[in-house]
Amino acid sequence: MSNTPAWTSKKPTAVLVLADGTVIEGQGVGATGKVQAEVCFNTALTGYQEILTDPSYLGQIVTFTFPHIGNIGTNDDDIEDLTPAARHGAVGVIFKADITAPSNYRSRKDLDTWLKSRGIIGLSGIDTRALTAWIRENGAPNAVIAHDPNGEFDIESLKEEARAWGGLEGLDLAKVASSGQSSQWSQKPWVWNEDESDLATDEQKHHIVALDFGVKRNILRLFAGLDCKVTVMPATATAQDVLAQKPDGIFLSNGPGDPAATGEYAVPVIQNLIETDIPMFGICLGHQMLGLAVGGTTEKMHQGHHGANHPVKDHTTGKVEIVSMNHGFAVNAGSLPEGVEETHVSLFDGTNCGLRLVGKPVFSVQHHPEASPGPQDSHYLFRRFINMVREKKGEPALAERA
């Protein structure tokens, strides 16, 4: 990969230094300073604010393959982390072009100002195609991203920091991303052109306890939209803590880091909760930890899946869905024991994207069914879960697809 692009004579004010010593120079945006993280790429065309505030990206630098970012600005609604004051989400970002000026009626702040407020360090003006190709060939690298308006960098020191960082394997970030305390959620999914105050749920027919390993807001909205009372509990909650809430269903959220590391404290809790026969549903990290809880293993992926155009097949229906993905670890399908069925699979690389326990109301998926990457192909999974709750309570099932 080349350093400063040939078309600019500007002094570099930001650098990305990979663990192998590669140095990529460009122009700094967003916050100043430096941070160690893993570099990934995201192929989504829209949703940059939701992506950068997804807690599953904690510890990562996101390279956007779409060249023009910033045209819709930012607002206070399109964020996904539950506790934005803690700034859980991506720690760095890489763009091909300069940030586009906002041109959208919902915009309240331009992207550069917003990045500064979130503490996200940015690099622009580089060949993101070359970086993406490098990641696809060599895997997601550990790196340091640094931004100094004066362009003063100790490159040798940054190289050493990049080499020294241990990476995401073995790293427990769920405790960091978790809200840390119990809370209630009542906001329903948004309806265009309706006041947010009108979106709080009135009916609360089912009580869902959501274990927060870095949960996204839209997951909670979809539960509320299905007439659920939602209690959010921290990642470190015990089985006794959960059962004391008398839940009708238990949700295992998405989140960052190595599932095996997080599983040291969460997996025994999940195992105990499975034995209660309370319906359980997991997404992303929650899926991986459920896989560990039933005796499977997880593995670090070469480059991970990050984007909004991923084809996944649901073996239970035979249908293919276009889904949103964001994960760097995966459940090893071959490690799943008897009594655990693979339900979904990636049509990109065949990796596991879902499982269910035979004879128990427990299932999970690797992708993000709450996201709407154009279609809403996977929203039915929430209704599938609620139907398990309704069946347990002796109530008639909902139509799986609204």
Classify 395 as helix, strand or coil: coil
Q: Are 253 and 214 in contact (CB under 8 A)?
A: yes
Alpha helices in 91-216, H assignment, sequence order: 111-118, 128-138, 155-164, 174-177
Say whether 275 is catalytic: no
Helix residue ranges, H only, 34-152: 48-52, 111-118, 128-138
Query: Which tokens belong to 312?
Result: 């996944």
Burial 224-234 (b: 16+ CB within 10 A, else e): bbbebbbbbbb
- The answer to whether residue 160 is catalytic is no
Question: Which of these is catalytic: 327, 344, 367, 368?
Answer: 368
Q: Pick from 155, 192, 29: which is nearest to 98 by CA?
A: 29
- β-pair partners for 317: none
Q: 53 and 17 in contact (C-beta within 8 Å)?
A: no
Per the residue annotation, which of 50, 284, 310, 344 is the catalytic one? 284
Residue 74 DSSP code: B
Contact, 356 vs 363, CB < 8 A?
yes
Q: Check the CA dihedral 73-111-143-127 and report its sign.
A: positive
Q: How many residues are listed for the chain in this entry?
A: 402
- Using DSSP bridges, classify how beta strands 60-64 and 92-94 pair: parallel, antiparallel or unpaired: parallel
Q: Would residue 228 show up in a list of annotated catalytic residues for this protein?
A: no
Long-range CB contacts for residues 385-392, cutoff 8 Å, separation at least 24 = 385/249, 385/251, 385/279, 385/281, 386/206, 386/226, 386/228, 386/249, 388/249, 388/279, 388/281, 388/361, 389/206, 389/208, 389/248, 389/249, 389/279, 390/206, 391/361, 392/248, 392/277, 392/278, 392/279, 392/361
Report residue 343 as tokens.
Answer: 């339900």
Please report where in the chains the tokens 């080499």 appear, as a residue. 163
Catalytic residue list:
284, 368, 370
